[in-house]
Structures are given as C-alpha cells and as structure tokens.
Amino acid sequence: MNDFSLLLPEFLVAGLAFFILALDLFIKENWKRYLVWVAFFGLAVILFVSLFIESEGQLYDGLLEFDEFTKFFRIFFLIIGGVTVIISREYVDSRLKYPGEYYGILLFTLLGAMLLASSAELLTAYINLELLSFGLYVLVGYERYNPKSNEASVKYILLGAFSSALILFGISQIYGLLGTTRFDEMSVAFSSLSSISPGMAVGFVLIVSGLGFKLAAVPFHMWAPDVYEGAPLPITAWLSVGSKAAALALAIRLFSEGFISVFGELQPILIVIAAITMVIGNLLALVQKNIKRLLAYSSIGHVGYLLMGLAALVPIAKTGSVAETFTNLVYNGLLFHMVSYGFTTMAAFLCVITVYNKTGRDDISAFAGLSKRQPLVALVFVCALFSLAGLPIFVGFASKFYLFNAVGGQGLLWLVALAIVMSLISLYYYLTIARQLYIENSEDDAPIAVSFVTKLTLGGLFGVMIILGIYPAFLLEAIQRATDALISGNLLSLV
C-alpha cells in the first residue's frame, strides 16, 4: 500500500541524525570534532540517493505528496544543509561545545524542512513546521554562556510558539468550516462555496500571519534581527535560508493547491505584506551597524521580493484561463530567486563566519581592509553582496530579472517598480560594506588565515554564484519540472 521508498531520503536523514547522536555518546572527546564529516558525507550520500531515486506518489492517504516539486526542494535543502554543516565546522570547534548534539539537532531541522515541502495536509505541515522550529529554538540558544544567544532563544521560542498557535487556530477555523484539512479536498470545497464567510477569512488571515512569522515578513518580523544577532552564525545562515525556504515551500504548495480557488481574496493581503516587507526591510537595513542585523534586514527585504512572487502566482483578472497567463514564469522566478538568494546568503555568511572566527567581531567596521588581510574572502563577500543587490554577472541579477519580469507580466508592474526601487536602496548598504572591504584600511593588518576546507567552500559557492548567473538554463530546467508538477496537477483543472 504505502510505498515507503518514497520517504527514503527522509528516513536516511533521520537515521543519520540518530547515528550522530549515538556516536557522540561513545567516541572520545577529541574525536568528536570529526563528527562534522560524518554529517557532511552522510548528507552527500543522501543527496546522491535522492538525485537518482524515482519518487512520484502519495503516502499516508495523501498526507504527504511526492512529486518533482518535492524532489526539487528536497535536493535544495540537502545541499543547503550540507553547506550549513560545513560552514559550522570551525565555528563549532572553536566556540560551541557538544558537536554531536549540534549536528544531530541541525539534521532534525533539515528533516523538518524536507518534509514540509511534501506536506499536502495542514496538520502534517504543522507538525513538520514544529519539527523544524523546535530544533531551531535549541540551536539559536546553543551558545549557552552568551546572554545574547539566550535572549534570542527566548524571544524566538515565545514568538515562534505564538505564531504556531496562530497557525493552529487558523487550521481549526478552516477545518471547522470545510471539514477537511487536505489541500486537494480544500480546493474542491472552496470552489463550491459561493462566498467567503467571516470565519473563513479569520482562518486565512491567521494562517498567513503564522507563515509570515516563519518567513519574517513585515509586520511579523520583529524577532528576526534580535534572533539573527544572538544565534550562532551558522544557525543564522540556516535560519535565513533553510527555514525561510521551508516556509516558502509550504506557502507555495498551500496557495497553489489548497487556496487556489480563493486566491483572489487572499491576493490583496499578500500584495500589501510583500510591499511593506520589502520597504521596511530595506529601509531599516540602511541604519544597521552590525553585520548580522544588516543581513537580517536585507533578508527581510528579499522575503519581500519572494512574497511579491507569491502574491502574483495567479493573475488578478479572474477571467481567462491560466494557460494564457504567465503563471509558470512566476513559479519559476520564485524558485529561481529562492535558490539564488540561498546560495548567495550562504556565501555571505561564510565570509562573516570566517572573519568572526578570527576577530570575534561582527560589527561592519570589523571588515575594514579585509581585501588586504584576506583577499579571497573579500572577493567572495563583495561578489555575494553584488549578487544580493542584483548586479550582473552574478546569479542575483538573473534571478531578480526573471522574478520581477514574471511578476510584471501578471499586471503588477507598479509592485515590480517598487521592488526595483528597493533593490536600488539595498545597493547603498551593500556598497557601504564593499567600502569597508576594499577602500577603508584597518588598524590591524595581520593576514587572516583561512583553512583549506573554507577556501574550497568559498570557491564552490563563488562558482555557483557565477555559473548560475551566466548560464542558469540547466537550473531552470529542473525548476520548470517542479513548476509543472504543481501547475499541471492543480491549477489548470481548477481555475
């Protein structure tokens, strides 16, 4: 009945997590720093497996759905997870104790993210979201003796729990009124409704708010800068890429399967949230002095662009069938920009981590004169910043162009214009960092040594930024398959 081979990568990740936790109990203290390689190569094997297994189908009577969309996100999470593990290596060695628990819990959050992409039912999605969040609550507070880390953790737990409660309440509203929580049944039930009742509207708003919390969309973003600042740096990177992408995966599936027939009612909310998210995120980033907070606000800005794509999934005009619109371009653009944002952010954070490991400082002026102290890190960092700002030849340019272009085609040209203006504003604060890197001089001219593994990772991420920027066609092919899985299955039949 249930073909559990569909879940093989998830089983393997869970197994790897338990294996690391168990191994941690038995090996000697000075061997524990090799656990990172167990985690990394374990993930590499799982990535290899999930690249080649055929996975199409449903599990548990449709609670989990496996299609190209799932596969795309699964592979994305595995790669980003692997990068997170590898960029954690030196940080964990030098600043955190208990590597076993660290990598174990990190893998559980990865598992939650992977499962979120395949969830096709609200409660399943909720459980996976909690699996992701609970691990993150622990990891954010992992620097036990750092008060900021503790503060961040408490803030994150309280607000995270609050947002989970919002989602649960929203789910209960929808279940109460529709009698189902499965996405496919929901859309059928919605399309038979003549109008949206107030209770249903409350349900929508609560679920959107809850997702907004997880995505750090304005006005639910207040936790993000503090948590980013307090959390250990690799976890900040994972928070800003992995957990956001997971929430986005859920949102995309939910909106294109569950809420598709009432998307018109939701769209104004999404447009408003997207607009204020990119405005507030980019404007507040202008005044930040701490690199983590700056990246936090800049990532809020990027969530704004992604939400803009989410808001444009289906065009405003309800007349006309989907085939005549640019919906698939929006899906592609959304996924493309998410991938681009993910890799670029990882590269930026790796640079921050490298400098932080050596200097212990994370204010922007700590990066003064980095081009002399460590040219490679400075180069990758400045390229990552240019990519985030959306300048060619980096992937950020191609993905922004694709996404903005697609949204513009959906009749939201004014929103795109706003996004482009915001992206101009973002250039200012990215350039202030570039100024520190290349123009300013530091008092301390001592070179910063970088390990071979870090160099390799930096080079790899740099290569990804350039290659995807110059020739993204092969990535877009994979993305197109993921898009087709969502659109052909649902949109065409329903709208």
Q: Which residues of 324-361 are buried (b: 16+ CB within 10 A; e: fewer)?
A: ebbbbbbbbbbbbbbbbbbbbbbbbbbbbbbbbbbbee
Among 92, 472, 479, 490, binds another protein (CB under 8 A): 472
In the complex with another protein, the residue whose CB is nearer, 3 or 324, is: 324
**Rg of the Cα trace of the chain?**
22
Burial class of residue 446 in the structure, from the number of CB atoms within 10 Å of its CB (0-12 exposed, 13-18 middle, 19+ buried): exposed
Please name the helix (run of DSSP H) or strand (run of DSSP E) that holds residue 59, with its range, or none.
Answer: strand 57-59
For residue 181, CA distances in Å to 61, 168, 175, 304, 345 come to 13, 11, 6, 28, 34
CA 341 to each of CA 68, 120, 250, 385, 421: distance values in angstroms, whole numbers, following the listed order: 21, 25, 18, 11, 18
Binding to another protein (CB under 8 A) within 66-125 occurs at: none
Beta carbon nearer to another protein, 14 or 425: 425
Q: Which of 416, 482, 485, 491 binds another protein (CB under 8 A)?
A: 416
Least CB distance to another protein at residue 389 (A): 9
Q: Does 445 bind another protein (CB under 8 A)?
A: no
Can you tell me which of 224, 266, 415, 427 binds another protein, judged by CB under 8 A? 427
Q: Does 290 bind another protein (CB under 8 A)?
A: no
Which residues in the 19-48 window bind another protein by CB under 8 A?
Answer: none
Among residues 178, 18, 186, the alpha carbon closest in space to that of 103 is found at 18
User: Is residue 424 close enough to count as binding another protein by CB under 8 A?
Assistant: yes
DSSP string, 285-335: HTT--BHHHHHHHHHHHHHHHHHHHHHTSS-S--SS-GGGS-HHHHHHHHH
From candidates 323, 456, 467, 492, binder to another protein by CB under 8 A: 323
Please name the helix (run of DSSP H) or strand (run of DSSP E) that holds residue 64, with its range, or none: strand 64-66
Omega into 219 within 30° of 0, i.e. cis?
A: yes
Cα separation, 133 vs 407, in Å, equals: 31
Query: Using the rule CB under 8 A, which residue among 116, 370, 458, 476 binds another protein?
Result: 476
**CA 242 – CA 145 distance, rounded (Å):** 26
Q: Which is nearer to another protein, 8 or 431 (CB)?
A: 431
Smallest gap from Cβ 382 to another protein, in A, equals 8
> Residue 408 Cβ, how far from another protein at the closest point, in Å?
4
Peptide bond into 439 cis (omega under 30): no
| DSSP structure class, residue 239 | I
473 counts as binding another protein under rule CB under 8 A: yes
| Coil, strand or helix at 58 | strand
Which residue number, 22 or 413, has a Cβ lying nearer to another protein?
Answer: 413
**From 158-166, 234-242, 251-259, 320-328, span contacting another protein (CB under 8 A):** 320-328
Rounded to whole angstroms, the Cα distance separating 395 from 25 reads 42
Residues 243/214, Cβ–Cβ less than 8 Å: yes
Using the rule CB under 8 A, is 319 a contact of another protein? Answer: no
Is 442 a binding residue for another protein by CB under 8 A? The answer is no
Q: Are residues 351 and 389 in contact, defined by beta-carbon separation less than 8 angstroms?
A: no
Residue 420 near another protein by CB under 8 A = yes
Near another protein by CB under 8 A, which window of 65-73, 110-118, 269-277, 322-330?
Answer: 322-330
Instruction: Note whether 480 binds another protein by CB under 8 A.
Output: yes
CA–CA distance from 259 to each of 167, 187, 279, 333 (Å)? 15, 6, 27, 20
Say whether residue 329 binds another protein (CB under 8 A).
yes
- How many binding residues for another protein (CB under 8 A)? 38
Q: Scan residues 383-412 and list those touching another protein (CB under 8 A).
A: 386, 391-393, 397, 401, 404-405, 408-409
Q: Which of residues 352-371 bind another protein (CB under 8 A)?
A: 371
Residue 81 · residue 103 · CB < 8 Å: no
Q: Does 282 bind another protein (CB under 8 A)?
A: no
Q: Name the residue with tokens 């980003």.
A: 80
Q: Are 390 and 382 in contact (CB under 8 A)?
A: no
CB of 374 vs another protein, minimal distance in Å: 13
Which residue number, 360 or 392, has a Cβ lying nearer to another protein? 392
CB closer to another protein, 219 vs 320: 320
User: Which residue, 166 or 464, has its beta carbon nearer to another protein?
Assistant: 464
Residue range at the interface with another protein (CB under 8 A); choices 61-69, 294-302, 337-345, 423-431: 423-431
Q: State the nearest-atom distance from the C-beta of 448 to another protein, in Å.
A: 16
Point out which span in 165-173, 228-236, 413-421, 442-450 binds another protein (CB under 8 A): 413-421
Q: Among 187, 433, 438, 486, indicate the residue that binds another protein (CB under 8 A).
A: 438
What residue ranges bind another protein (CB under 8 A)? 323-326, 328-329, 371, 375, 379, 382, 386, 391-393, 397, 401, 404-405, 408-409, 413, 416-417, 420-421, 424, 427-428, 431, 434-435, 438-439, 471-473, 476, 480
